[in-house]
Structure 1
């Protein structure tokens, strides 16, 4: 049976990947874009591009009418993660949509105490709205995007051949590539029996494992470097947030500190990973991503 999906955030990185994955299935896809924003360009008769402002409840409701599921891949801070998704949820309810997939795509924020991670707090706040709404919701939790290890995440120092860790070099960390998250999201969108949370992890490794992998890939020793405790990193993240000139950046340095503090403390670790929920799949590993990065920069 054809599933009608309303996809929000399709012009973003994860959104484009999710759109592509959805089109591998029997879907009728509506892509939501903001007036004046970058329009999604898809040469497929199953795709309808709809322009509607998140402040326009009537237009949003019309966009959602007849959809089986709303999938959100929007990215940002409060005006997007909370305010825009609340508007999208209100429209879905008004249109009688039965399911909603929020833009979570993170480590397990449910186990992290309030006050220590801004992006987790925003997801938790919207999750409370979803849990109170009369529809089925499914969040996809995947740890950290594996690609961040090669750039934005403050863990691998390629030039210095160091792998940083906080507290313990043996703490298990969850990583999943954006393509694997997009695939999972598409399958969740097509699954009317999906539970409240689907946890996946393309790879589960420690800092020690990462150092060994890089040593093996390069033939040059990558050494572990203790950078403090998860507690001191969390404190540094809070201080960085207080001193930041622009607190509305999506992923500033202090947000990365908060994220790694929660991962290395074990608070945000996934505990109910179900990679086989939708059948066997060749998940992309941390080794794969690091190897590709090294090959591109050799």
Structure 2
């Protein structure tokens, strides 16, 4: 069933961050909805990055969340019902830029704002300070929740499938030995990017889904299962480096000693690792049953990568 088959659903949307990997997939998923007019917010100098989306039928709105004024953005959003953000970056983008989108939405009469909240459910389960990457997003949500002019929806999907296989992220491999933090039995929820896009479309267009967090997941695996999927041809030996709390303590010690610019990226990486292996942001249930999405399993994702 099409997400836009309900005549009461929203029918006009603008996506910010369309040139990114997830943003690109979200736009394509919206373009598959025949009764939805899909716009993308694009800087003039970035139009070449979205030529494929334009050919597929996306309508360009020229603008930039960092340099355009709230009033300029609001003027461009006249007649738009939903703003979906797939923005990523530093504080100036994910907080300041998205706050501009929110304020422009208020001025232009946009009915719903879906901020960039993909990944772990930081809003319900994490504290400020748990992640340098997530903190600006969490601060934005506080602003979203304190206003009552525009509906919002937070969409969380656990770990992206591709992230689970980044070298050195969940495991350190030395010969046939897998070194890890945490508990091999901890469960991690994960979702494929294509399926995240499908969930975003259905959730965004449904006026009844608003002012709350939505948790979806394509699959759920233990840390040990992920190790075997990552290194299928190896007879694995496991060596525990410490608990999840041990990893967090190491991270906090490094931060307290002061971070050089070149250390920020690795610390963000480690903080995401801690969130994954600690299970702290693992919701007790998903909202998958609210959607007409049959997600790709992680096993099938791995098979597809090998083809």
Instruction: Please give the range of the TM-score, normalised by the shorter of the 2 chains.
Output: 0.7 to 0.9
Counterpart residue number, 2:41: 32
* Cα deviations by residue, 1:211-252 (Å, 9 ceiling, x for unpaired): 34456x43x3233331212122223333555323247x7xx2
Equivalent residue in structure 1 for 2:241, among 218, 224, 227:
227
Q: Is 1:255 the counterpart of 2:268 in the alignment?
A: yes
Q: Distance in 1 between the 2:213 and 2:243 partners?
A: 30
Following superposition, the deviation at residue 262 of structure 1 comes to 2.0
Equivalent residue in structure 1 for 2:290, among 277, 286, 289:
277
List runs of 5+ in structure 1 lacking aligned partners: none
8 Å CA contact 2:188–2:276 kept in 1: the answer is yes
Following superposition, the deviation at residue 114 of structure 1 comes to 2.2
List runs of 5+ in structure 2 lacking aligned partners: 1-6
Q: Which moves more between the two structures, 38-47 or 98-107?
A: 38-47
Counterpart residue number, 2:158: 143
8 Å CA contact 1:162–1:211 kept in 2: the answer is no
Across the aligned residues of Structure 1 and Structure 2, the Cα RMSD in angstroms comes to 2.3
Q: Distance in 2 between the 1:45 and 1:265 partners?
A: 42
| SS in structure 1 of the partner of residue 119 of structure 2 | coil
Following superposition, the deviation at residue 44 of structure 1 comes to 4.7
Following superposition, the deviation at residue 93 of structure 1 comes to 0.5
Q: Distance in 2 between the 1:269 and 1:255 partners?
A: 19
Task: Quickly say closer, same or farther: Cα 1:104–1:289, change in 2 above 3 A.
Answer: same
Following superposition, the deviation at residue 22 of structure 1 comes to 0.6
Equivalent residue in structure 2 for 1:197, among 180, 188, 213:
213
Counterpart residue number, 2:114: 101
Q: Distance in 1 between the 2:29 and 2:174 partners?
A: 35
Following superposition, the deviation at residue 108 of structure 1 comes to 1.5
| SS in structure 1 of the partner of residue 250 of structure 2 | helix
Equivalent residue in structure 2 for 1:16, among 10, 24, 41:
24
* Cα deviations by residue, 1:107-137 (Å, 9 ceiling, x for unpaired): 1213122222112222210001111222211
Q: For this pair of structures, how many residues does the alignment match? A: 289
* Cα deviations by residue, 1:48-70 (Å, 9 ceiling, x for unpaired): 11111323222200221111100
Q: Following superposition, which runs of at least 4 residues in structure 1 exceed 6 angstroms of deviation? A: none
Q: Distance in 2 between the 1:236 and 1:292 partners?
A: 36
Q: Is 1:287 the counterpart of 2:299 in the alignment?
A: yes
* Cα deviations by residue, 1:137-194 (Å, 9 ceiling, x for unpaired): 1111011111012225612456744544322111111111111111111111211111
Counterpart residue number, 1:209: 225
8 Å CA contact 1:237–1:255 kept in 2: the answer is no
Q: Distance in 1 between the 2:139 and 2:156 partners?
A: 16
| SS in structure 1 of the partner of residue 89 of structure 2 | coil
Q: Distance in 2 between the 1:107 and 1:35 partners?
A: 32
Task: Quickly say closer, same or farther: Cα 1:68–1:118, change in 2 above 3 A.
Answer: same
8 Å CA contact 2:173–2:179 kept in 1: the answer is no
Following superposition, the deviation at residue 34 of structure 1 comes to 2.1
Following superposition, the deviation at residue 275 of structure 1 comes to 1.5
8 Å CA contact 1:105–1:140 kept in 2: the answer is yes
Q: Is 1:120 the counterpart of 2:134 in the alignment?
A: yes
Counterpart residue number, 1:176: 191
